Structure 1
Amino acid sequence: MLDAHHHLWNLSAVEYPWLNAKDQKRFFGDPSPIQRDYLIDEFRHDAEKQEVVGSVHIQVGAKNPLDEAIWVHSVSQENPDWPMVQVAFCDLTAPSLSDDIEKYLSIPTVRGVRQIIGRAPEEDNETGTNDLLKSDALLAGLKLIGSKGLSFDLQLIPELIPATCEILQDVPNTKVALCHAGSPHDRSVSGLKDFSRSIAGLANLKNVTCKLSGLGMFDHNWTPKSITPIVDTCLNQFGENRCMFGSNFPVDSLYSNYSKLVKSYKDIIPDDCHLSVFYSVAKHFYFDKV
C-alpha cells in the first residue's frame, strides 16, 4: 500500500501558525489533540501495521513553505527505507512564482504543489480562500507548474467545482489530484446528490485523479456505511484507475485510528480494485517520473 495523503510536523523545526494557535476551532473540529509533534516514527508505527510501504507528504500550513519542504526532504533522506515524496505549498498567483518553482525543483522529493481553493463554507467566507478562483494569474500558474512536470493538489468544496472546471479544462497537461474526494461537507441525501452531480465535471477531465481521503473531517462519527455513497460515487465516476487512498493523518486521527480507516476502505472498495486504489494509482501519479 501507498498512503497518498498525510502530514508530518515538528514544531521545533518548522513554524505552523495554526498548530500554535490555542482555543481556535477549525473547519474539521478542535485541533488541540494534534497540536503536538507528529513525526515519521509515529506515522510509520500505524501505517506499517497496515502494510503501507511508502507515502506522500502534503503541505500543511507552515509559515515558511520552503522551510517545510526542506525539512520534509530531510526526513525522507534520514529514512531511506521509507519512500516518501511530497507536495509543497506554492502561491500560483505570486509574481515570484517562477523563482519559487525553481527552488522547489531543486528539492528531489517535491513532486507537486498545493494551494487550497476551498476548505469549508464558513471558514472560506472568513478567510477569503476561494477568492483565488477570481485571479487571472491562477490559470497561468497552473500551466507553468505543468510545464515543469509538477502536479497540482486541488482542495476545494463541491460548490466551487463548476468554476474550477472552467479553469482546469484549459490546462490538460497539468496533472491534478483532487484532495478529500472534493470535500463533500453536506452529508444529507440532497447534499450527496448535489456532490455527485458537481464532481462529474472533474471526472470528465482526464488529467484529474481523485483521492479517497479526509472524509472524517465533515463526519466526526463516520461509519463505513456513512462514507460508502461517497466512495462509490468517486469510483463510479473516476474509475479505479483514477482513485487513490490517503489517510489524511494525523488530522483524521481525530475521528478514527489508522487500522479502522484502512479496513473500512478495503471493505467498501471491491477486491479487484484494491491494487489500483491502494497502490498503483499513487505510484504512477506521484512516484513515477516520466
Structure 2
Amino acid sequence: MKHKIIDPHIHLFDLVKGQYQWLQTNNPPFWPDKHIIQKNFTEQDLQLNDNFNLGGIVHIEAGFDNKSPIEEINFLRSTISNIPFKAVSFLDMTLSNETFKLQLSKLQLQSNNQLIGIRHIMEGTDNDLLFHENILTNLTLLAELNLIFEAQFEIHNLNASKQLAKYTKSLPSLNILINHCGFPTANKYQQWQQAIDILSPFHNIHIKCSGWEMHNRQYKQLWLKQIINHLLSQFGENRIILASNFPLCLFSKSYADLWQSYYDLNLPNNIWQAISFDNAKDIYQLEAKPSITV
C-alpha cells in the first residue's frame, strides 16, 4: 500500500535563471553547510521511498526574482510537468495599498491560476514588519481574493504573535499558514507554547510542520514528535499540515527519510490522512487523486 501525500513547502532552484541572493556564498545566512543546497533542484529530486506517492506540491518563493515574482512562477510552469502544483510568491506586504493591489493583480493575472498565496518573511529583526501600517489593508485584499498569507516569523516573540492574532480576528475569512511550526527551539519552548495558546483559537490559522533543520541540524525524532503532538492537542488535526522545506531538509536528512520519519510517528490513520494530504489539498486548492492507492 502506498500513501499519497502532498508536500506544501518545497523550493526548486535554477541558479542560472534565478537570482537567489541568499544562496550566494558571500551573502547571509552564513551557514557552513550552505554548499549542500547551492545547486539546481527540480521535481525529479523529490524522491520518496516505496511507502509514498507524491500527489501534489506547493512551491514557496525562494528569491528567484523579488522585483518580478512572476518570473519564478514562469520558471515553475516551464519545469514542473508531472506533479500538480500551486505557487506562493513574494510580494512586499508593506507596500502602499494602491501599489500592492496593482502588483498583486498583475501577478494573479499572469500566473494562470497557479498563484495561491503570498509570503513576506518577517523573521528576526524583520518581525517589526508585522506592525507596519499597511499590513492590515494588504491582508484584507488577500482575504478578498481568497489568497493565503504565509506567516514566517518566530512566534515566541509574543508581541508579534499577538499582532498576528489581531489581524486574524479582524479578518476571519483570511487563511493564514504559519511556516515551520513558528520556529520552536528548546530554549524558547515555554514562550512558543504561550504563542500557540494565543494563536490556536483562530480557526483560520493553520500551521505547517517543517523547517526542523533550521535551528538544529541534528534534531531528534523525539523533538519532532513532541512538537507535532503539542500542535495536535492545541490546533487539532484539521489545521496542521506536514511539509518538508526541501531542499533545506537535506541539511539533516534525505527527502525520503524525512517523510518516513513523519510516518514513523505512528499517528492514527485519520490524523495521518488529514495532516499528510487532506488539509493541504483543501487549503491550497490542489487537484489531486485520492490519497491512498494499493
TM bin (shorter chain):
0.7 to 0.9
The residue that corresponds to 1:162 in the other structure is 162
Question: Which of the residues 274, 277, 283 maps onto 2:275?
Answer: 277
Q: CA deviation at 1:48?
A: 7.8
Aligned residues: 273
Matched, 1:15 2:19: yes
Specify the alignment match of 2:42 in structure 1. 39
Match of 2:90 in 1: 89
Q: Deviation of residue 164 (structure 1)?
A: 2.0
Alpha-carbon distance between aligned partners in 2 of 1:226 and 1:176, rounded to the nearest angstrom: 24
In the aligned structure 2, how far is the partner of 1:48 from the partner of 1:145? 39
8 Å CA contact retained: 2:86, 2:286: no
Measured in 2, the distance between the counterparts of 1:47 and 1:213 equals 19
Match of residue 186 from structure 2: 187
- After superposition, the C-alpha distances for 1:130-176 in whole angstroms (9 at most, x for unaligned) are 22122110010000011012111111102131232222222211111
Shift in CA distance, 162/48, structure 1 to aligned 2, threshold 3 Å: farther
- CA 1:141–1:47: 2 relative to 1, 3 Å: farther
| In structure 2, C-alpha distance between the alignment counterparts of 1:14 and 1:148, rounded to whole Å | 28
Cα drift, residue 269 of structure 1: 5.4
* Displacement after TM superposition at 1:57 (Å): 0.4
Q: Which amino acid aligns with 1:72?
A: L
**Higher normalized helix content (fraction of residues):** 1
Matches within 5 A, 1:186-205: 186-188=185-187, 191-205=188-202
Q: What stretches of structure 2 of length at least 5 have no aligned partner?
A: 288-294
Shift of 1:92: 1.9
State whether residues 88 and 113 of structure 1, in contact with CA within 8 Å, keep that contact through their aligned partners in structure 2: yes
Cα distance in 2, alignment partners of residues 41 and 247 from structure 1: 15
- Specify the alignment match of 2:9 in structure 1: 5
**Counterpart in the other structure of 1:257:** 254
Structure number with greater CO (CA < 8 Å, separation at least 6) is 2
Name the aligned partner's letter for residue 58 of structure 1: I
- 2: CA distance, partners of 1:23 / 1:13: 18
Consecutive unaligned residues in structure 1, runs of 5 or more: 119-123
Length-normalised TM-score, structure 2? 0.86
Equivalent residue number for residue 176 of structure 1: 176
Residue of structure 2 in register with 1:240 after alignment? 237
CA apart distance, 1:228? 1.6
Letter in 2 for 1:286: Y
Given that residues 214 and 248 in structure 1 are in contact (C-alpha distance below 8 angstroms), is that contact kept between their aligned partners in structure 2? yes
Letter in 1 for 2:132: S
| Superposed displacement of residue 62, structure 1 | 2.8
Q: Please state whether the residue corresponding to 2:264 is helix, strand or coil.
A: helix
Report the more deviating stretch, 59-68 or 256-265: 59-68
- RMSD in angstroms over aligned alpha carbons? 2.0
Query: Alignment identity in percent?
Result: 26
Q: Distance in 1 between matches of 2:179 and 2:244?
A: 11
